[in-house]
Amino acid sequence: MRYWHHLSVHGQTERIAGLFDSSRWIGPSTEQTLFDRGCVQPRDLATACATGTQVFTTRERFIDAGLFDDSMQIWQDWDLWLRIAQRHGQFIGMRKRTYVIDTTHDSLRISHKPESVVRPAAQMFALKHHASSPIQRIRVLAVLADYPQVRLGLLELTGLLVFGRGKAVGKYLLRRTFGADRLDSVRRRLPDWSHFLTKIRLSGMRR
């Protein structure tokens, strides 16, 4: 990649883990830009797959970090990106939206695997990286809460609230109450309402 070559020429690649790019996420009723940030630090990857599923780095860095862990049924990418970052530092974001995630089709995706697969994988990730940190394990639980097929227990929801993850609890409860499809429909209408309210506010200012 030209950007990596540019960094390499200036001797900057030794201080970074690799590159990633923002993604254009296309859903049944909404479209979003994900992972749009200038850099991702190791501490960011400790709590979320903040780079997305695609990164660019050298073959040597993949090997040095131990490659993908075949024992993990999901989150193999996140697990490896975190190990690379822990050894080599931050990932740099390109912010070009070169990666498209199209979720409008019915093909099987990793994120649609049953809870019996998702939950053990999340527990494995937490034990692997955060065995001595209850707070970090709670943050991994907040990621698990984003999966519609996963049901959280009362103790898990309480733990999220106690450790400051109220937003994750709110999103989870809204989705369980109204359903993912209805929430997507609401999100689709929000930009129109925002535009409408802005027009009213500007009209009042002109008077």
In the listed set 105, 132, 156, which residue is the last one of a domain according to the structure? 105
Under 8 Å CB-to-CB from 129, ≥6 apart: which residues?
46, 79, 82, 136
pTM: 0.76
* 20 φ/ψ angles, rounded to the nearest 5 degrees: -145, 170
Do 15 and 32 sit in the same domain of this protein?
yes
pLDDT of residue 200: 46
**Where residue 201 falls among pLDDT bands split at 50, 70, 90?**
very low
Tokens 């030794």 found at: 14
Do 60 and 160 sit in the same domain of this protein?
no
DSSP single-letter state for residue 23 = E
Do 67 and 154 sit in the same domain of this protein?
no
Beta-bridge partner residues of 23: 34, 99
Do 123 and 62 sit in the same domain of this protein?
no
Do 134 and 175 sit in the same domain of this protein?
yes
Q: What is the pLDDT of residues 59-80, one digit of tens each?
A: 999 999 999 999 988 899 999 9
Tell me the residue range of the domain where 88 lies.
Answer: 1-105
Number of domains in the chain: 2
Do 137 and 165 sit in the same domain of this protein?
yes
Give the DSSP H or E segment for 99: strand 99-102
- pLDDT over 50 at 198, yes or no: no
Q: What is the pLDDT of residues 111-138, one digit of tens each?
A: 778 888 888 888 888 888 886 677 778 8
In the listed set 105, 134, 167, which residue is the last one of a domain according to the structure? 105
Do 83 and 45 sit in the same domain of this protein?
yes
CA 42, 48, 51, 55: dihedral to nearest 10 degrees?
A: 80
Do 84 and 138 sit in the same domain of this protein?
no
Average model confidence (pLDDT) across the chain: 81
